[in-house]
Amino acid sequence: MGRKGTGWRLIKGAVCCVLAVAVTLAANTGGAVASATRQRILHVAASQLGYSEPGDFCTKFGPCELWCSLFVTWVWEHAGVPVPSLPFVGDLYDWARARTYVKRVSGTPTPGDAVLFGTGPENVDTSPHVGIVEDVYRTGYLVTIEGDTIHRVERYVVPIREPERVGEPGPIYAYASPVGSGRGGHSVGATVVPAFAPLARALMPDRTAFVGVDWTVVNRVRTRTIRSLRAFQQMPYRAGHLRIDWTGVDRRGLVEVRVRTTVDMSYAREAWHRFLHRFRDAGHAYVVSFQAPPDVPVNRSRPSISGTTAQGHTLAASDPPWSNHPTAYTYQWEDCASSGLSCSAIAGATGSSYALVASDVGHTIRVEETASNAVGDGKPATSASTAVVSGLSPPPAAVGSSAPPPT
């Protein structure tokens, strides 16, 4: 009896060890699958940046209606999450509550989670918007990819405590996970999911979405560069005629920024430097692209005048270089005092050349040139004044002639 009891205890202990190892292995592989799924979510979401709604809220993400939640569930589904198409944000909350887990706003989300804006999942007024968490920063910011934001898919940097500062429709009330916790198969605040996922799938997750992506380099670049920037944390920035967005990080680790304005290029550049100064950022870690309406032509040097400054001769204006691709030029010749001052327009002298007349003798001449393009006229550019115009020269005497004899 004693031997039998001892043997049973040994068998029981061995079985427990095997079960413990199996549970640990399932937990570890389940975590690997969850991590791979989250990476696929980020890859799919980023691939949709810039997608614009064709009109009437009709998109490829679902039926013709408000589509922020449709975008999130579309991305999750394309990353391998068995989630239905859910137009209402509150339904996304309920789905995660029942199948994976929901984290309170006081917690820290994981990239790939959905961030839910509003006060609760009750109705469309209390749960109006949702986005995908792309990254989380210790300084209190999320990087999100959101659908149906000004009818586009856009990337935002969202202050967790005050998301309204960047235009979000309310505070954050929860984070919804697309996958279980990966800790022994148990979800947090939800139902229990199976602990023993198929080992073949767990050990060999689908990585076709990551060809050419070195996530170690990506994460190192983000850690080294982005977290140290102050101005970056305030993007997107919106002002009257200005919008500043962060669009990514290049291979050198520089943050790519896009500055857009409805005014002109000079305004965009000045506004960018004011923005950096406001947040005490030197701006050396950015690559900036500016987008502004085309400018009118801008003169780079004064026009010049060629020709002999004497009555009866013709002066010609030479076009100086102009920026912004001028398509036409106009001219106005002016008569000035011998000192080059007190100039006045010469009536009818509006061509690229001007023939000097008797009234110009003793005066100087200058020309004013204006370049234009499809936007409008540039600021006129004025030449320097010529030398004083001389009168007609007497005809030269004929060779070999002599004066007539006196009478």
Q: How confident is the model at residue 299 (pLDDT cuts 50, 70, 90)?
A: confident
pLDDT, tens digit, for every residue of 200-231? Answer: 222 223 333 334 444 444 444 444 445 457 78
Q: Are residues 181 and 72 in the same domain?
A: yes
Q: Are residues 47 and 121 in the same domain?
A: yes
pTM of the model as a whole: 0.48
* CATH of residue 319: 2.60.40.2700
Tokens standing for residue 325: 């691709």
Indicate if the pLDDT at residue 308 is higher than 70.
Answer: yes
In a domain, 100, yes or no: yes
Q: Are residues 198 and 232 in the same domain?
A: no
Q: How confident is the model at residue 250 (pLDDT cuts 50, 70, 90)?
A: low
CA separation for the pair 175, 136 (Å, rounded): 12
Q: How confident is the model at residue 130 (pLDDT cuts 50, 70, 90)?
A: very high
* Percent of the chain predicted with pLDDT > 90: 43
Sheet containing 114-117, strands listed edge to edge, beginning at the edge strand earlier in sequence:
102-104, 172-176, 114-117, 129-137, 141-149, 152-159
Q: Are residues 328 and 281 in the same domain?
A: no
Question: What value does the mean pLDDT take over residues 58-78?
Answer: 95
CA separation for the pair 70, 182 (Å, rounded): 26
* CATH of residue 160: 3.90.1720.10
In a domain, 206, yes or no: yes
Q: Are residues 271 and 336 in the same domain?
A: no
pLDDT, tens digit, for every residue of 116-125? Answer: 999 999 999 9
Q: Are residues 49 and 192 in the same domain?
A: yes
pLDDT, tens digit, for every residue of 340-383? Answer: 899 999 999 999 999 999 999 999 999 999 999 887 898 999 99
Sheet containing 237-239, strands listed edge to edge, beginning at the edge strand earlier in sequence:
237-239, 242-249, 255-261, 286-291
In a domain, 337, yes or no: yes
Give the count of domains, the chain. Answer: 3
Q: Are residues 204 and 264 in the same domain?
A: no
Question: What value does the mean pLDDT take over residues 298-313?
Answer: 91
pLDDT, tens digit, for every residue of 380-407? Answer: 999 999 999 998 766 555 555 555 555 5
* Percent of the chain predicted with pLDDT > 70: 75
In a domain, 57, yes or no: yes
In a domain, 135, yes or no: yes
**Three-state secondary structure readout of the chain:** CHHHHHHHHHHHHHHHHHHHHHHHHHHHHHHHHHHHHHHHHHHHHHHCCCCECCECCEECCECCCCCHHHHHHHHHHHCCCCCCCCCCHHHHHHHHHHHCCEEECCCCCCCCCEEEECCCCCCCCCCCEEEEEEEEECCCEEEEEEEEECCEEEEEEEECCCHHHHCCCCCEEEEECCCCCCECCECCCCCECCCCCCHHHHHCCCCHHHCCCCHHHHHHHHHHHHHHCCHHHHCCEEECCEEEEEEEECCCCCEEEEEEECCCHHHHHHHHHHHHHHCCCCCCCEEEEEECCCCCCCECCCCEEECCCECCCEEEEECCCECCCCCEEEEEEEEECCCCCCCEECCCCCCCEEECCHHHCCCEEEEEEEEECCCCECCCEECCCCCCCECCCCCCCCCCCCCCCCC
Question: What value does the mean pLDDT take over residues 102-114?
Answer: 93
Question: What value does the mean pLDDT take over residues 148-153?
Answer: 85
In a domain, 218, yes or no: no
Q: How confident is the model at residue 181 (pLDDT cuts 50, 70, 90)?
A: confident
Q: How confident is the model at residue 55 (pLDDT cuts 50, 70, 90)?
A: confident
Q: Are residues 154 and 253 in the same domain?
A: no
The pLDDT, as a whole number, for residue 56 is 84
Q: Are residues 155 and 275 in the same domain?
A: no
Q: Are residues 205 and 250 in the same domain?
A: no
Q: 397: Cβ–Cβ under 8 A, 6 or more apart, which residues? A: none
Vertex 210, ends 206 and 212: CA angle to 5°? 140
Of 291, 316, 345, which residue constitutes the final position of a domain?
A: 291
Domain that holds residue 246: 228-291
Question: What value does the mean pLDDT take over residues 269-293?
Answer: 86
Q: Are residues 37 and 157 in the same domain?
A: yes
Tokens standing for residue 310: 């004497």
In a domain, 160, yes or no: yes
The chain-wide mean pLDDT, for the chain, equals: 79
Q: How confident is the model at residue 158 (pLDDT cuts 50, 70, 90)?
A: confident
Q: Are residues 194 and 136 in the same domain?
A: yes
The pLDDT, as a whole number, for residue 117 is 95
The pLDDT, as a whole number, for residue 78 is 96
Indicate if the pLDDT at residue 1 is higher than 80.
Answer: no
The pLDDT, as a whole number, for residue 146 is 92
CA separation for the pair 406, 197 (Å, rounded): 133
In a domain, 217, yes or no: no
